[in-house]
Structure 1
């Protein structure tokens, strides 16, 4: 299927690349169908990808794998919240966090409190709010990403 987007123009989204958020995402319950768009770099995939709405061309959220930032990121999630996604096996579970890009790049942050949980096998997903007090809504990442880039 062809999807028109504001950021990427018209893109081709195959059925097996569509992600269905059973209850939408927080703040946008009506938006349920998305795809991940990522830039290929010489080193592989870029750190930040985009969760692009299939229904709304103007809606795309920057997202990233939290393990790049915090290797031991492991939010506690009630099994009941994940039931609509189907059987969750570790190899099929993909976790992303949203990235906030403010005016000042040094204030770049991710939301560790409301991860996106994706079952890669069923292509169903949800966004949840974790109770763990160790995770913040605005976890600063600018220094981590610049240090990582300098180390390459």
Structure 2
């Protein structure tokens, strides 16, 4: 059985060798909190965690293009194996929460290798409304 991240499964550990931008941890627990939403928290401490959204659930037309070296580092040979998680900025009024489409966390759902990818040459917003108004 493959150890993949799905909204209805238990927590999984992803491996982020380069860490997230500004955060050096390399092992993160991804725990579902609601359909399409996950808590992303570094293992082994009380370090800062993140709310993430499954891009496929919240932005079905969002299809970032990975360069070949990134796809190679993640072992991605089939786009269907990529799960794209978006870091969410949760607003006090939850309807004003936004997702970062410019720097998604891309996870190889088969191997759980992951990387935060800062997309270049693609016109995606840093703060896209999570809930359409």
Structure 1 residues 63-82: aligned runs within 5 Å: 63-82=52-71
Partner of 1:82: helix, strand, or coil? Answer: helix
Q: Which has the larger radius of gyration?
A: 1
Shift of the alpha carbon at 1:110?
0.3
Q: Which residue of 2 aligns with 1:32?
A: 26
Q: Which of these residues, 1, 13, 17, is aligned with residue 18 of structure 1?
A: 13
TM-score by length of 2: 0.80
8 Å contact 2:18–2:115 — kept in the other structure? yes
8 Å contact 1:94–1:118 — kept in the other structure? yes
Distance 1:73 1:87, change over 3 A: closer
Partner of 2:66: helix, strand, or coil? Answer: coil
- Once residues 96 and 59 of structure 1 are traced to their aligned partners in structure 2, the CA distance between those partners, rounded to angstroms, is 17
Q: Which residue of 2 aligns with 1:6?
A: none
> Any gaps of 5 or more consecutive residues in structure 2?
1-9
Shift of the alpha carbon at 1:73?
0.7
Q: Which residue of 2 aligns with 1:108?
A: 97
Which structure 1 residue ranges, 4+ long, deviate > 4 Å from structure 2? none
Shift of the alpha carbon at 1:27?
0.9
Count of aligned pairs between the two proteins: 123
Q: Which residue of 2 aligns with 1:126?
A: 115
Distance 1:104 1:68, change over 3 A: same
Q: Which residue of 2 aligns with 1:89?
A: 78
Q: Which residue of 1 aligns with 2:125?
A: 136
- Once residues 25 and 71 of structure 1 are traced to their aligned partners in structure 2, the CA distance between those partners, rounded to angstroms, is 24
